[in-house]
Amino acid sequence: MNAFTQIRRNDQPIYLDYQATTPMDPRVLEAMMPYFTYKFGNAHSRSHAYGWEAEEAVEKARAQVAKLVGADEKEIIYTSGATESNNLAIKGVAEFYKDRRNHIVTTVTEHKCVLDTCRHLEQQGFSVTYLPVQKNGLVDLETLRSAVTDKTVLVSVMAVNNEIGVIQPLAEIGKICREKGAFFHTDAAQAVGKIPLDVNAMNIDLMSISGHKIYGPKGIGALYVRRRPRVRLVALINGGGQERGFRSGTLPTPLCVGLGEAAEICLKEMDAEAKRLTKLRDRMLEGLQAKLPEIYVNGDLDHRIPGNLNISFAYVEGESLMMGIKGLSVSSGSACTSASLEPSYVLRALGVDEELAHTSLRIGLGRFTTEQEVDTAVDELVRHVSKLREMSPLWEMAQEGIDLKSIEWAAH
């Protein structure tokens, strides 16, 4: 098994949506299999070999996860995924320290599960500051510094954005938080295994980790919770007191094993994979730019994970483009498939014009993406963008030299 193996069937579209989810690495599945069948014990059974065997497996996996982010294994709590980790980190800290500090700082481009958790806390009486981001998608450190007060209990800033792939200055944010005595939580679902992370060097106090974004199984994630200086949390799920009391419930041994194996593979192959994906991403962008005028990359291209492109194809609406490129599975930034006609809130936060936001696609490359798939994708995108521009009244007007902004459009 190597990174160039094609795992999709030939009748399936080319998968270019690695920020949505990743296929499980066959090596991960192999490691998990025995724990579904004959190694089925409950990791919390202390009285027999089945239990000991399962416990050993989940603890080995915990150490594998810890090593990937430079943590101690005792600081890793298993959860059902990054959404639960984000909920536990933010609600848990807010609740525990509410008598002393009741202010949270986050950014407007966070994942919905962070934003929604913060909204929930606002209703509970906490105050939340939503920081804007710059045009490149990165938070301005001085703005952040001035937002953190002696009432701020937690700063929650995502490591890598799920739509535009930009990497926030984690070490700098961590330093500010440490100086100000606020805890630093980062939603690292899109960052773990893609870029080097070190919870100590970056002064990260809490970190959310997802299994299925790192070629592991769905339904498992983890939360890193710092022990020194200690971060305390109020649990969301009460019960038998597993996971240091932070998260009760029987551990899903096969999923834990899968998360651990996935983490170990990421640690081993991260450098080589990053180089390979950077090359593929450059190949894709250069291929598109060579044949299509007026395409724009959203978000900083330098401070970005290798496997992400978010491109606006001006004058072509994103959803119609997705309908055309049937051989490719990508994601639209226009979100027009939902009931709302609002384009992506992340692109809007960057100050991308609404008309351009409607033309954007998120293209995610990953471990199993091949050069041939990239070339096919470029061809298909070029063909369909060109076809749709031919039928776009906006493209026609732009070619005639009409400034689209000079027209009074009737909003509907």
Partner 1 sequence: MAYSDKLIDHYENPRNIGALDKNAEDVGTGLVGAPACGDVMKLQIKVGVDGLIEDAKFKTFGCGSAIASSSLVTEWVKGKTIDEAETIKNTDIARHLALPPVKIHCSVLAEDAIKAAIADYRAKITKKAEPAPPGEAAVAEAK
What residue ranges bind partner 1 (CB under 8 A)? 315-317, 319-320, 323-324, 334, 336-339, 341, 343, 353-355, 358, 390-396, 404, 409-412
Check: CB of residue 211 under 8 Å from CB of residue 217.
yes
Report the 10 Å Cβ neighbour count for 250.
13
Q: Which is nearer to partner 1, 122 or 396 (CB)?
A: 396
Q: DSSP letter at 184? A: E
Give min distance, CB of 274 to partner 1, in A.
35
Half-sphere exposure of 75 (CA within 13 A, CB side): 23
CB of 67 to partner 1, least distance (A): 42
Say if CB 97 and CB 153 are below 8 A apart: yes
For 219, the token pair is 């339904």
Sequence-distant (≥ 6) Cβ neighbours of residue 364 within 8 angstroms: 16, 17, 18, 19, 20, 307, 308, 309, 330, 331
Closest by CA to 176, choosing from 161, 197, 155, is 155
Q: What one-character DSSP code corresponds to residue 4? A: T
Structure tokens at 224: 């890193």
Q: Which is nearer to partner 1, 293 or 393 (CB)?
A: 393
Q: Which two tokens stand for residue 267?
A: 């640690």
79 vs 392 by CB, closer to partner 1: 392
DSSP for residue 110: S
Smallest distance from partner 1 to CB 351, Å: 14
Provide the β-strand partners of residue 155: 105, 184
Place of tokens 């938080």: 177
For the bound state, the minimum distance from the C-beta of residue 315 to partner 1, rounded and expressed in Å, comes to 6
Provide the annotated active-site residues. Answer: 336
Residue 128 phi, psi (nearest 5): -130, 135
Rounded to a whole number of angstroms, the minimum distance from the CB of residue 330 to partner 1 is 15
